[in-house]
């Protein structure tokens, strides 16, 4: 197994955790859960995509795409995204609508700057 290989059980646990579902590891003493919203399923529509751009010390700038609804907190992503970003000297995160950044490739490293930034947090 090389350094980039993720064991199947770990990958399964990460996927279940990302979905907000309870997961159990191979060892019962390591069982864990991820909180599910108390109000039940979130029915916020996801109609538009956003791009989050990040700068971190000693790493290439990166970006990823998210929906406009934070289904874990059942709020618009624009209301919650900033609290989930890394903080501290040298960390900067910016968010913009994907539609304002046509042809933006989130897989390019270092990630290019965003156009029409809506908000930013950190040491920008």
Instruction: Please state, in angstroms and as integers, the Cα–Cα distance from residue 34 to each residue in 39, 47, 82, following that order.
Output: 15, 26, 20
48-42-32 Cα angle (round to 5): 115
Rg of the Cα atoms in the chain = 17
Q: What is the pLDDT of residues 63-95, one digit of tens each?
A: 999 999 999 999 999 999 999 999 899 999 999
Q: Please report the beta strands in 1-124, taking only residues with DSSP state E, as ranges in sequence order.
A: 49-55, 62-67, 69-70, 75-76, 92-97, 119-122
Q: Domain limits of the chain? A: 1-36, 49-122
Q: What is the pLDDT of residues 3-33, one digit of tens each?
A: 444 444 334 444 434 444 443 333 444 444 4
CA gap 91, 89 in Å, rounded? 6
């Amino acid at each position: 197994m090389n350094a980039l290989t993720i064991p199947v059980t770990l990958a399964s646990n990460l996927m279940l955790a990302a979905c907000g579902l309870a997961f159990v590891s191979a060892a019962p003493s390591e069982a864990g859960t991820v909180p599910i919203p108390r109000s039940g399923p979130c029915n916020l529509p996801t109609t538009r995509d956003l791009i989050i751009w990040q700068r971190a010390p000693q790493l290439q700038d990166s970006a990823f795409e998210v929906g406009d609804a934070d289904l874990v907190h059942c709020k618009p992503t624009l209301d919650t995204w900033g609290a989930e970003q890394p903080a501290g000297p040298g960390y900067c995160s910016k968010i913009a609508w994907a539609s304002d950044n046509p042809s933006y490739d989130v897989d390019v490293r270092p990630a290019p700057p965003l156009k029409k930034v809506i908000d930013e947090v950190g040491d920008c």
